[in-house]
Amino acid sequence: MPYLRPSVPEPRRILPSRTVRRPGLITIGLVLLCAGLLSGGCVTELTPEERQAREELLEKLRPWRQEQRNRLNFLSLSLQDGPGRPAILPVILYAGQSGDRIDAGCTGDVIALFEGLVRFLSQDDELAFVIAHEMAHCLHGRGSWVRSGVRQSYSSYSLSEETQADAHALTYMYQAGFDVDIGVETLVRLTTEVPKSLTGSYFSLHPHVLERIARAKVHAAALHGGLHPLTNQPLPPPVQKVTFAMTSWVDLNRVTKESRWVQRFDDEMRAFVGVRLNEVQASKLHLRFVEEQGDRSAAERARKESDALVNKLRHEIEDKQIEVLSQTSLPFHRTILQVTREGIQGDPNARLAQLLDHKYLPSH
């Protein structure tokens, strides 16, 4: 999610690039690999021309995919945000091998939507239903990708599990302000409009579709009456629906300047990076001095030491970035959600900065 990125004095101009290590995503990748969702070295070797064409296509897709990741995660946050939920289940957009399939699943702590599903279900309320359904399996049952020893396998659900997940999903939608009738219609669309060849996996994991539709309509009717579909207990009124498109008002640069809570992390990151950049600069000056002495052996040792130091400091900076993001991302986005639900009136960025300081600064 894009808003809170600690600003640093451009370390990449000095430090070589490396893929950022993200806790959890490595585990997710291994899970998908074991599940047969990622390529495991069985891809046909591409020619140089084919590789170039592939890279050009991926470059064109990257902005759209990033926008969809942001969109899906904000939908997930909208559905999950509430008292008693300190953690939010992340959503990943699967775009690898077979990524064009209309499919979705969960591992128990991660929700995955295939790119084909996101292209087919274009409405936020449709995608909200799928996310909420997988969320229900994670929170009230089990994942569809189940680990057994060192192997990963698919596990289908019973009718009871599916109808309960649908009921919880529609309830999450109702509470978050989404349209529960569109949730029911999403089941209908998946049943009637999608070629079976593209949904074989989805319906093998999520069976009993016709029965589910009938029961989902009953659940939706209960929610329209303000009742929980499983307990018949009254529910509080739904909150204002919020989607990623509704948060375009956020001005990160301004909030960074005006929020002391954000500035604290920004200053911390700048100081952390500054110390390490000074170490890099000192190492480069020492290397240049040794090279000017003309001793090739000493210069080679100094070069290796400098490279090792740069690599070590680069890892430290990237780990610090991850640490800062882990501390700030969820509070920041939850507060964006709160301001948007209140109604974007007056100066929402000033309100965002004010709330962040009020809620998260130790002095408050």
Q: What is the pLDDT of residue 208?
A: 64
Q: Give how far the C-alpha of residue 133 lies from the chain's centroid of Cα atoms, to the nearest Å.
A: 17
How far apart, in whole angstroms, are the C-alpha atoms of residue 103 and residue 118?
9
Encoded amino acid at 44, one letter: T
Q: What is the pLDDT of residue 143?
A: 62
Q: What is the DSSP letter of 134?
A: H
What element of type H or E holds 317?
A: helix 296-342
Dump pLDDT digits (tens) for 252-304: 999 999 999 999 999 999 999 999 999 999 999 999 999 999 899 999 999 99
Which alpha helices (DSSP H) does the chain contain, by range? 25-34, 48-80, 115-120, 124-140, 159-175, 180-192, 196-205, 209-224, 252-258, 260-292, 296-342, 348-360
Q: What is the pLDDT of residue 42?
A: 40
User: Are 190 and 127 a contacting pair, CB within 8 Å?
Assistant: no
Closest CA to 177 of 53, 61, 79, 323: 79
Encoded amino acid at 109, one letter: D
- Tokens read off for 342: 């209140």
* Beta pairing class for 111-114 and 145-148: unpaired
Q: What is the pLDDT of residue 125?
A: 98
Q: What is the pLDDT of residue 308?
A: 95
What string of pLDDT tens digits covers the 364 residues of the chain? 334 333 333 333 333 333 333 333 323 333 333 333 333 334 457 788 888 887 887 788 889 999 999 999 999 999 999 756 767 888 999 887 677 888 888 888 889 999 999 999 989 999 999 999 999 998 887 766 543 333 344 557 788 888 999 999 999 999 999 999 999 999 889 888 775 544 444 555 455 678 889 999 999 999 999 999 999 999 999 999 999 999 999 999 999 999 999 999 999 999 999 999 999 999 999 999 999 998 999 999 999 999 999 999 999 999 999 999 989 998 999 999 999 999 888 999 999 999 999 999 987 5
What element of type H or E holds 146?
A: strand 145-148
The model carries a pTM of: 0.75
Q: What is the pLDDT of residue 251?
A: 96
Dump pLDDT digits (tens) for 159-178: 888 899 999 999 999 999 99
Other CB atoms within 10 Å distance of the CB of residue 279: 15
What element of type H or E holds 151?
A: strand 151-154
User: Are 340 and 247 a contacting pair, CB within 8 Å?
Assistant: yes
Closest CA to 274 of 21, 5, 14: 14
